[in-house]
Structure 1
Amino acid sequence: MALFIMLMRKMAKNRWLELSLLTGLIITVGLASSMPIYTGSILQRMLLKDLEASQTVNRIYPGAYSSSATILNYRPEDQAKLVKEADRYMEEQVLAKLGMPVQTYAIQRETLSLPVTPADPRKADPNVKRLASIAALSGLESYIELVDGRLPSKEIKDGVYEALVTEDALIGLKMVLGTEFVFRDQSIKGEVRVLPVGVIRYKDDQGLYWNFQENTFEQHFLIPYELFEEKFTQEGVMRVQFLIWRANLDYAGLTIKHTEAPLEIRVNHSKFLSGTFGTSYVSMAAEPVLKTYSGKESKLRLMLWSLNVPVLIMLGFYLLLVANLTVGRQKNEIAVLRSRGAGRIQLMGVYAAEAVLLGAVAMGIGPFLGLFIAKALGASNGFLEFVQRAKLEAVLTAEAYRYAGIAAVCSVLMLLVPVFLATRSTIVSHKVQLARVRTLSLAHKFGLDAILLGISAYGIFSFRRRTADLQALGLNSMDFKVDPLLFAVPAIFILGFSLLLLRVYPLAIRLLYRIGRKWWSPPAYSALIQVGRSATGYQFIMLFLAMTMATGLFGASAARTINQNAEDQIRYRNGADLVLMAKWENDAPPQSDGEEKSVEVNTSKRVQYSEPPFIPFTELPGIEGIARVFSRKGDLVEKSSNAEVTIMGIETDDFGRTSWMRDRLMDHHFYDYLNLIAQDPAAVLISRSVADEFKVRPGDSLSIRWDGTAYATVQVYGVVDYWPTWNPNPRQAAGQTQTPQAGNVNKPVKPKLVVGNLSYLESSLAMEPYNVWLKLKPEASLQEIYKSIEEKKIPLVSVVNTAQDVSDSRKDPFRLALNGAMTLGFMISAGVCLIGFLLYWLLSFSGRTLQYGIYRAMGITLPQLVGMIALELLLTSGAAVLIGGFTGAVTGKLFVPFFQLSFNFSDQALPFQVIFRAIDELRLYAVVSAMVAFGLAVLGFMLSRLRIHQAVKLGED
């Protein structure tokens, strides 16, 4: 109890330091717990979006789960037992374990399809051959409506089974309602009589109950499910052949943690049915989507950790700073206690109890802060940019508390490091240390800056080697196992490079002092002497500020670069704001797969197309530019060599006004190449791959064609490296697999391009469907454009909306993670940096009260004293901000390209470009400047309250 009272008194005495320490602990625990919360939440949102998208594309409800089995060997004595076991397995091992609420569930049974004849030949033509089966569906009555007749009895009446039929069954079996039919077969015990008493149709043909139904029961008699089970399943009156189970589950209840469980359940179910019945089939509509999520989760988790490494390092420095300040104020007390017989274990126990108490409080509050952080991440649209977006469904999980616990334990151990070092000193050794002037910090003494920069150099080398291999082989970044160290290297470099600059900084201050020591004013002279002689003491706070600034600049550059590159890739891939393909009338025979093809292969007759009117497109509202763009695969011939090539036909002037192209991609401006081929109808531009492979240069001639056309001769006028919509990256040929680690590397295929004048291609080869590219005015409304298209009755085959694609990309979980983590990481760093900055300078000020009092007594005015402190702040904090800005810029240039490893190289047509924006830097400098100004204002206010007699009396005491 005495120890606890002593602990409380000590914490109360240093309440502001303890509160600052607790703040850092809470933020550290909250940030750590936010990672699993955010990862799960964003993947959960993505999972639901992907499932919804799959429903749009495949027209299958994502929560659909169906299974079926065929009883091949008729065993009446075992049939009832096997069917009952299969039903129980479906309910207990599948539906109960999938973890999603069941919306509809139906069991369907069908007998063997057998010949059926009318009981009374006068009521139906006995010469018509009819094959039918008896079927039953559980819960059928709730999802049908009667067209004619009545519902059947659930009991046999005079040996006759009453049944329902569909309108298609009336036609298919050529019968009328009320006609009795008889099944006679050697597999039946006697005969089975069926009387259709009602005609039905689906109550809601779009309802979930019917979403599996592919037939219309045109050869089925539907009897009550309970009656079917009793007479056919259990008693074996007639052979049961097909067993079908259909369930619709609420896929919104599927959590990201259980994406692998449904896949395992489906596999086990399939094995069970195959082992029990022989022939079976199990289908789960969500399976293709679920299979991709384990990789996405690990990839996102790695990125979040890598993005938060600098912030975690900042928080670690913050905890060390506050712990050092706390212990520093108590070093004299600790030394006295050690000299009077107190053991190190006893002293460590007191501080350990304090740290554990603070850690426990942080564990109670931190996860809720992490929950808030995770929700805020979902609203980030860019670095320090927030938008209104659908609320992110984030919840606290056991994993979040586990992360929080690990962070709390590590933080508590970190807080005890300064205590452990302080307890080694006695009162004598403590006074000796105070009298010594340290010329080097521990980090510089042990060469930590050189070690960290060496690790960074390895990271840069490793990244560049991987990038070169991926680009050369045309592979996906997932084809290589990425070293997680690559994403931690930027934080290591920031720390190492900042330490290197701080190693040089004291020399620069001394040089500055020597240069102007004959002209410095007293305040400047005092500030330079103070900073020059105590440079080591300032390095911790300077490192703190430098890392804050560097982390912010690196985050701004990374976020801006990835956001801009992702959107540029979309604009380049699409080519224009809006790309429309109208329906072209043609004389091609209908395709069996329902798709319209531009050519008929292996036929002597070419497909003739009729060009739709083009003028209606030019009359659409909000159009700034419009162009006809033709593109298709063809053949290129040069002497005896030929190759597959993409042939693009354009109208140069319209194409230049309409298409999107990034600047400085080629040797000359994009427009210069268009002007070049505008001079000659037969002029073409070729890709670098064509020029290198065929040794073609401007002035040479080539022959091009596509299926069903003769060759057309064109003349090369220029060579391009990039062109709107064309991806120059090498790709693997179809069927090739790459295992670089095993040494199995196939040569990738380099895409080839020929760009010519559309009019020449149409006259020399053939006219085929082209796309209409539209450039929209800034104020254009897509809704008005679509409405105008509908009013003009323009039949469209496809629409590509670049603005919508860009909007969708901004909701990508990786971009959300990047923007959110970078923004909140900087805000957290700036927040703790402000607290640390104020604590350091306030304690420094209180420790130099006597010095300031003497200055005032010597005649130094208050403005001069404030100017002296302001200059000291400028030489330390201002210099730290500049060091951090320079470090952040260098880090961005070197390490932002690392994020290429998070994307598919083969799909990145444009080169990855590191981007800095002045607005980002202005925001950062505004935040840091406001922080320093606030600190200076607080210090100035305290100076204004300084009393000379108090300072002098303090010195006498």
Structure 2
Amino acid sequence: MFGTLVSLFRMVLKRSVNNLNLVAFTIIGLIVAVSLVASVPLYSDGIIEKLLRTRLDQPSTTGRLPGSVRIRHLEDQATPSRYEQFQTIDQFVLGNAEWVMSLPLKNMVRYQSSDTHLLQGVGEEVKTNPLASEAKYAYVSAMEGIENHIRFIEGGPLPPGPAPDNEVPIIVSSVAAEDLHLQLGEKYWYIGGDRFQPLVVTLKIVGIWEATEPNNTTFWLYHPEVMTNTLFTTERDLFDIVLPTLGNRVHEYSWYMIFDHSEIHSTNVDRVRGGLQFLETRVATVMPNTKIDLSPGDTLEEFSRRSFFLRILLFALSVPMLAVVLYYIAISLGMVIESQRSEIAVLKSRGASTLQVVFLYFIEGVINGGIAFIVGPIVGVAIAQLIGKTYGFLLFADRPPLPISFTEQVLQYSLLAAVLALIASLIPAVSAARHTIISYKQDVARSTRAPVWQRFFVDFLLLGVSVYGYQTLKTQQNILTFGAAGEIVVDPLMLLIPSVFIFALALIFLRVFPIVTAIGARISLWIGGASILLALRQISRTPNAYSPLVLLLTLTLALGAFSASAAHTIDRNFTERVRFGIPADLMLSEVWEFDEVESAYLEPPFSAHDVPGVLGAVRTRVFTAKPNIGRGVQKDVQILGIDRADFARISWWRNDFASRPLGALVNALSIHESAVVASPGFLQQYQVRIGDTVSLAFNQNLVDVRVVEVADLVPTLYPDKGYHFLANLDYLHDQLGLAPYDVWLKIDPTVRSRDVVDAIEENGVKIVRIRDSRTAINFGRTDPQRTGLFGILSIGFMVAAVLTVLGFFLYSFLSFQRRLLQMGILRAIGLSSRQLFVLLMFEQVFLIVLGIVAGTGFGVWASDLFIPFLQVSADAQGQVPKFIVETAWLDLGRIYVVLGAMLGVGLLIMVALLRQMKVYQAVKLGEQA
């Protein structure tokens, strides 16, 4: 057995060395498959790690470190706790917290406190229910390590030994001493129980302190300044004297821990979350009313959820391209095996079993897969980094590299991809290994037999699935939604439907492919030469030999066209949503002084906005009014008051907002100072016509306006908030009085917004609100799901295009070798090298053009059907402005250029091969074959 394995291994190595150029094509496909799959966890872990580091390292509003965890028990007197329960939790936390959290523990503070009780001077009459003006209540607490974080301004630290004569020594903060009127050296009664049976503990003030670092959140679980009624003693005296004497009335137990948050990574977020959940469950089980009330749990849950859905999204997006890659592996190895089928048949005729032949290719696949498993993840790192730099389809930005690291999960995914690729590569091997030399010749003679997927109608099954998915999408209306921060929320299964539709169309197209070529061959009888006729007849007679390549090309073009159009549409949609809400480059809200004497606002100098980088400025203000027309409830009207002279060149506008350009609408406002551009809905609701004057109520003020034009939308005015008007700002100020307005700025694209704002503020203008459209758009483009969406679409298309090129090169090379005899015979009967070149060239041109036309058509069709479902809405404003589908013809042009270059290189290779071919050698080789 071992000897057989060694022999097979030697044979595989010898075959691989002798056919190194052919094996390289398969290995490249395997590497691409592994790297594409590995890039998904590499990118998702890297981008989540980057965002996690940013979130954890930024200062919190409370000043506490992100690794802060507080376990807190607040006593419920209805279900009091027992000291044994405290001890159990205390021992568990001290001994296991670091192990449970899987994080280094930097510091722990233990805090215990009695319930609040009355405080009176020793010797005074014991009053369990004093007047409110006389009552002083306090907690007696113990806090581990407090002496290391305070300095005494009077007295000194707590004595190390037990309390003498049951007088409990107390230290108190200067703030608490002042509030409770406590004096150093004085003794006080700490009174519990009730008026019939008071319980008393004697306390003695031995020190008054102040915190050395009151803002040190690694120690102070409560800020010292809020501990105005807290007295501190030792843990021993608290549990041995105070609590037993007062009936064990506990107020709080807390364990405040600081874990090293720098050790929280995207790869262990779930483990840390699990530790927090286990910790909380454990302490709550032992002692009710105990929970974790301070932790990074919410942050970790958010990032865990984002990582999970991001990974699902990327895998869903990569499935179609991965299918193309696996298909390339199968057809590339199939072409190689096809060239070796006579060799396989000879092996079968000499006694080799089918299993041995398959095992031969299995060993070869394992070796090639091993190479891919080693190299693939390394290439996957480069792909993941490239995804991280994507901001549009085939558009990349210069961003800092992601913090990527290899994890066990990356290796698992890589191994899974290598196994899938190995299975794909064995499919043609199993098919070829079944044949002897006789059955091989018979199979060659029946080469027009339909493939398995056609015989079982897989193409129509996929079409049925896609039609069902389309109907589902029509019901739910969208695949994607935007979250409030601009992040994309995706339904991954629905995202696969367009790809399934494209696969179904491509497979159905292969059914009509032989018919198309046969029709072409008949037409060439009258209008084509001998070379074209021979090429078309060759294709029509053996369509199965060309179908895999045509399918690969069709899928690449269709998926590329759909991906490009989807990416462009989503990006345009998001950009226009931002620009509708922030129509200018910068929108500034400023502080106005109010003159109490004149009872009027003081307008800041508008010339203050004339700073370097500002190309234009315009005043705007949004008013709200009600139509003073008829009776009943009136719907609000939003009025955008503008300076008509500069508005058109500063504000963003889309041509479908009105039947006339923005410039024409603004010019119409010059007809009369009261002129307005109104919404069509307002005119229809109140039976108003252009030229009519209507009255609007601004609180108690009535203002007449004249309708001169209509516009379906006006930037910043959302339809759900009422009808919209565009009006002259000066007229409204004349009627209503001068009031603070916003300033919209057009900025030089090379100038930073921050520099412009700083320059304006240096001119004496106070700015209270800044809305920056460029920053909002750029921020949205850094969203991990958006970046991953565009990145995987771009990388997937690039991979598919490269593999298509390699597939054509491999086909050209093997086809030329396989048809050497045919070429030699054609040369011998009189065809010139030029005619042979035209034959092969037309063959490739015909296949490429057919694939381009079919792929582009299917991609555009899928875009028209499914991209409308990509429209997004985040709030009650809905999809504003209206969603527009954009076919990415520019990117399709780039695709055509790539394929044209591929054709050119392939033709050059054919020319070189034809020039080297000698007729007698070709015939001789053909006879041997």
> Structure 2: which amino acid aligns with 1:109?
Q
- Distance in 2 between residues matched to 1:120 and 1:670, nearest whole Å: 87
- 1:601-639 deviation line (CA, Å, top 9, x unaligned): xxxxxx977344142542333212222322365545542
**2:128 equivalent in structure 1:** none
Of the three residues 242, 252, 271, the one matched with 2:252 is 242
Q: 1:320 to 1:469 in 2, by over 3 A?
A: closer
Farther-moved stretch of structure 1 (823-832 vs 634-643):
634-643
Alignment counterpart, residue 652 of structure 2, candidates 630, 650, 660: 660
- Structure 1: how far apart are the matches of 2:607 and 2:154? 51
Alignment CA distance shift 1:73-1:554 (3 Å): closer
Alignment of 1:101-250 (within 5 A): 101-116=104-119, 130-144=136-150, 151-155=157-161, 164-174=171-181, 178-185=184-191, 191-203=201-213, 205=215, 207-210=217-220, 212-213=222-223, 215-223=225-233, 228=238, 232=242, 240-250=250-260
Corresponding residue of 2:778? 807
Residue ranges of structure 2 left out of the alignment (5+ in a row): 125-132
Residues 24, 468 of structure 1: CA spacing in aligned structure 2 closer, same or farther, 3 A cutoff? Answer: closer
Q: Structure 2-normalised TM-score? A: 0.85
Partner of 1:647: 638
**1:768-917 alignment to 2 at 5 Å?**
768-856=739-827, 862=833, 865-900=836-871, 908-917=879-888
Indicate conservation of the 8 Å contact 1:727/1:907, yes or no: no
- Assess if the C-alpha contact under 8 Å between 1:677 and 1:685 holds in 2: yes
The letter for the 1-side match of 2:546 is: Y
The reply on whether 1:557 has 2:562 as its aligned counterpart is no
Matching residue of 1:720: 711
Does 2:34 match 1:29?
yes
Secondary structure in structure 2 of the residue aligned to 1:243: strand
The question of whether the paired residues in 1 share the 8 Å contact of 2:187 and 2:204 is answered with yes
- In 1: Cα distance, 2:426 partner to 2:842 partner: 35
Shift of 1:655: 3.1
What RMSD, in angstroms, separates the aligned Cα atoms of the two structures? 4.3
Displacement of 1:311: 0.7
Q: What is the DSSP-based 3-state SS (H/G/I as helix, E as strand, rest coil) of the residue aligned with 2:256?
A: strand
When residues 190 and 212 of structure 1 are mapped into structure 2, their CA distance, relative to the original with a 3 A threshold, is closer
**CA deviation after TM superposition for structure 1 residue 802, in Å:** 1.9
Aligned to 2:574: 566
> In the TM superposition, what is the alpha-carbon distance from 1:236 to its structure 2 partner?
7.2
Instruction: Tell me the residue number matched to 1:69.
Output: 73
Residue by residue over 1:439-487, the C-alpha shift from the partner in whole angstroms, topping out at 9 and shown as x without a partner, is 866656665555544443443333233218999xx99999x99875532
Which residue of the partner structure matches residue 934 of structure 1? 905
One-letter amino acid of the counterpart of residue 205, structure 2 = L
- State the alpha-carbon separation in 1 of the partners of residues 884 and 295 from structure 2: 40
Alignment map for 1:78-97 (pairs within 5 Å) = 80-88=83-91, 90-91=93-94, 96-97=99-100
2:7 corresponds, among 5, 8, 13, to: 5
1:284 aligns with 2:294: yes
Question: Are residues 670 and 447 of structure 1, via their aligned partners in 2, closer, same or farther at CA, if it must alter by over 3 Å?
Answer: farther
Question: Which residue identity does 1:168 align to in structure 2?
Answer: V
Tell me how far 1:313 sits from its aligned partner: 1.9
C-alpha separation in 2, matches of 1:165 and 1:637: 68
Letter in 1 for 2:638: I
SS of aligned partner of 1:664: helix
**Which structure 2 residues correspond to residues 754-765 of structure 1 after superposition, within 5 A?**
754-765=725-736
For the pair 1:319 / 2:329, whether they are aligned, the reply is yes
Aligned pairs for 1:372-383 (under 5 A) are 372-383=382-393
* CA displacement 1:267-287 (0-9 Å, x = unmatched): 777777777777666423545
Counterpart code for 1:82: Q
Name 2:129's counterpart in structure 1: none
Deviations 1:293-351 (A, max 9, x none): 56544543443233212212211221220232233233334445555665544544444
Deviation readout 1:61-103 (Å, 9 max, x if unpaired): 5444334333454999x75423323434555676653444444
Question: Equivalents in 1 of 2:824, 2:670: separation in Å?
Answer: 82
Distance in structure 1 (CA, Å) of the matches to 2:392 and 2:817: 41
The residue type equivalent to 1:935 in the other structure is G
For 1:882 and 1:180, the matched residues in 2 are separated by 97
| Contact 1:154/1:226 (<8 A) preserved | no
The SS at the match of 1:97 is helix
Question: 2-side partners of 1:665 and 1:319: how far apart?
Answer: 50
> Which one is further off, 612-621 or 829-838?
612-621
Quickly say closer, same or farther: Cα 1:334–1:948, change in 2 above 3 A. closer
| 1:591-740 mapped onto 2 (5 Å cutoff) | 610-615=601-606, 617-631=608-622, 635-636=626-627, 638-645=629-636, 647-653=638-644, 654-687=646-679, 690=682, 698=690, 704-705=696-697, 709-728=700-719
Farther-moved stretch of structure 1 (302-311 vs 905-914) = 905-914
Cα distance between partner residues in 1 of 2:220 and 2:880: 45
Cα separation, 2, equivalents of 1:52 and 1:559: 33
Report if the CA contact (8 A) 2:753-2:772 is conserved: no
Deviation at 1:13, TM superposition (A): 1.9
Q: Which residue of 2 aligns with 1:415?
A: 425
Q: Which residue of 2 aligns with 1:924?
A: 895
Change (3 A) 1:709 1:279: farther
- Looking at structure 2, the residues matched to 547 and 469 of structure 1 have their Cα atoms a distance apart, in angstroms, of 22
The answer to which of 263-272 and 330-339 deviates more is 263-272
Post-superposition offset of 1:498: 3.3
- Alpha-carbon distance in 2 for matches of 1:271, 1:608: 62
The CA deviation at 1:238 is 8.7
Per the TM alignment, residue 803 of structure 1 is displaced from its structure 2 partner at its CA by 2.0
- Alpha-carbon shift at residue 21 of structure 1 (Å): 2.5
Instruction: Provide the rounded CA distance (Å) in 2 between the counterparts of 1:794 and 1:521.
Output: 80
Among all aligned residue pairs of Structure 1 and Structure 2, give the percentage whose two residues are the same amino acid.
26
**Deviation (angstroms), 1:818:** 1.2
Distance 2:68 2:202 in 1: 35
CA contact (8 A) 2:502 2:558 kept: yes
TM-aligned CA deviation for residue 828 of structure 1: 1.7
- Bigger shift: residues 310-319 or 935-944: 935-944
- 1:557-596 Cα deviation digits (max 9, x unpaired): 22222223222221222222112222345699xxxxxxxx
- Once residues 378 and 454 of structure 1 are traced to their aligned partners in structure 2, the CA distance between those partners, rounded to angstroms, is 36
Structure 1 residues 805 and 224, CA, compared in 2 at 3 Å: closer, same or farther?
Answer: farther
Residue aligning to 2:472:
462
| 1:393 Cα offset (Å) | 2.9
Deviations 1:372-400 (A, max 9, x none): 43333222232223333233233444444
Q: Who is 2:316 aligned against?
A: 306
The 1:720/1:285 distance shift into structure 2, 3 A limit, reads farther
- AA at the equivalent of 1:85: T
The alignment partner of 2:100 has SS state of: coil
Letter in 1 for 2:178: I
The letter of the residue matching 2:336 is T
The amino acid across from 1:759 in the alignment is D
2:43 to 34, 38, 41: 38
1:486 to 481, 494, 504: 494
Residue type of the partner of 1:951?
A: A
How far does residue 936 in structure 1 lie from its aligned partner after superposition?
3.0
1:807-841 Cα deviation digits (max 9, x unpaired): 21111011111121012112221232233222211
Distance 1:92 1:184, change over 3 A: closer
Could you give the per-residue CA deviations for residues 521-574 of structure 1, whole angstroms, max 9, x where no partner exists? 554454444445444422221221222233223222222222232222212222
Moved more, 155-164 or 345-354: 155-164
Following superposition, the deviation at residue 647 of structure 1 comes to 2.2
